[in-house]
Amino acid sequence: MTARTATVTDTSLAHLPQVQEPRNPGTVLDLDRIASVQANTSAIERRAATLPGRRSVKKDYQAAWMLRAVTLIDLTTLSGDDTEGRVRRLCAKAANPVRQDLLDALGMDAITTGAVCVYHEMVPTAVSALQGTRIPVAAVSTGFPAGLSPFHLRLAEIEESVKAGAREIDIVISRRHVLTQNWQALYDEMKAFRAACGDAHVKAILATGELGTLRNVARASWVCMMAGADFIKTSTGKEGVNATLPVSLVMIRAIRAYHAATGFRVGYKPAGGISRAKDAVTYLTLIKDELGDRWLRPDLFRFGASSLLGDIERQLEHYVTGRYSASHRHPIG
């Protein structure tokens, strides 16, 4: 079968213009507002169950959405056996995430992933490897993934990662504050993390699989945004349950309500378990439906993923050639 000649730039979301969004400065903690936040679990689950089959994105449009998804990936390695060589390979893939022959066939210019996400120890390596690109380095911090190290060490870890060149910091909240409904403690913690980040953007990881209820997820989302989080993020990727559509619906509706109340846009990052191109498109359609096109840019939406990119590239090759290739033709590291 000959390669398809396909141009998706006219319908692609991959070249939406970048807009400098003012950072969320946070607000005072409004405990009455937090107490009023509820979550109708059965209704949320029914809505989420309809999402995978509700929107059918085909052909050129599907390729365009997959290309857009690539630009929204925080390409991640968070393994105990990470090496400098692995991180450099990951950074090379982040700078050239889709094979050039596929981009040429699709009529696309070069694209990159949204960021590279690593442990603090690997921040200098990633910063060095990404010199000359506009790809930011994100560092997981604050005793990731449990968040149970001494508080002063969690603050120091943020400061050290920023000093090493990380432009984004993914912090983990203390889940016990949510489980005990100690919203003041969560707010104060998040405010301190935000201050330690300085100019670096902060993503608050809620570890939603450990928060017990969707109402807790909604309230924790509000508290973190009130404390100045630039992003709220579902998971560390290390919990038993990570990103899910019901949790995502709760969090992005909290983002929508916060924007309506304050005028400030907060980003969203689902992480953990998103490994198929089909799932990525489902998340993008959910964002488009609930928040609109403005959130379909890297400054307001990211996927936390390691294997998602490989499947997207494989699907793009099928779109171009009509054939599925072996996974090893699309290495990510």
Over the stretch 130-177, which tens digit does the pLDDT of each residue have? 999 999 999 999 999 999 999 999 999 999 999 999 999 999 999 999
Lowest mean pLDDT among 17-21, 86-90, 170-174, 196-200: 17-21
What CA–CA distance (Å, rounded) separates 195 from 73? 26
Q: Mention every residue, 6+ apart, whose C-beta is less than 8 A from residue 208.
A: 217, 234, 235, 239, 241, 242, 243, 244, 247, 251
Per the model's pLDDT, the better-predicted residue between 215 and 324 turns out to be 215
Query: What's the fold here for domain 31-329?
Result: TIM Barrel (3.20.20)
- 269 labelled catalytic: yes
- Report yes or no: 283 and 275 within 8 Å, Cβ to Cβ: no
Residue tagged active-site, from 74, 269, 279, 311: 269
Residue tagged active-site, from 74, 93, 233, 311: 233
What CA–CA distance (Å, rounded) separates 265 from 95? 27
Nearest to 190 by CA among 138, 234, 227: 227
pLDDT of residue 331: 66
Question: Read out DSSP for 151-196?
Answer: HHHHHHHHHHHHHTT-SEEEEE--HHHHHTT-HHHHHHHHHHHHHH
Is residue 277 pLDDT above 60, yes or no? yes
Residue type, 60: D
Is residue 283 pLDDT above 50, yes or no? yes
Tokens matching residue 246: 């019901």
- 59 labelled catalytic: no
Residue tagged active-site, from 170, 230, 279, 311: 170
Q: Mention every residue, 6+ apart, whose C-beta is less than 8 A from residue 264.
A: 22, 23, 24, 25, 258
Residue where the block lists tokens 């945004």: 225
**Residue 125: Cβ within 10 Å count:** 21
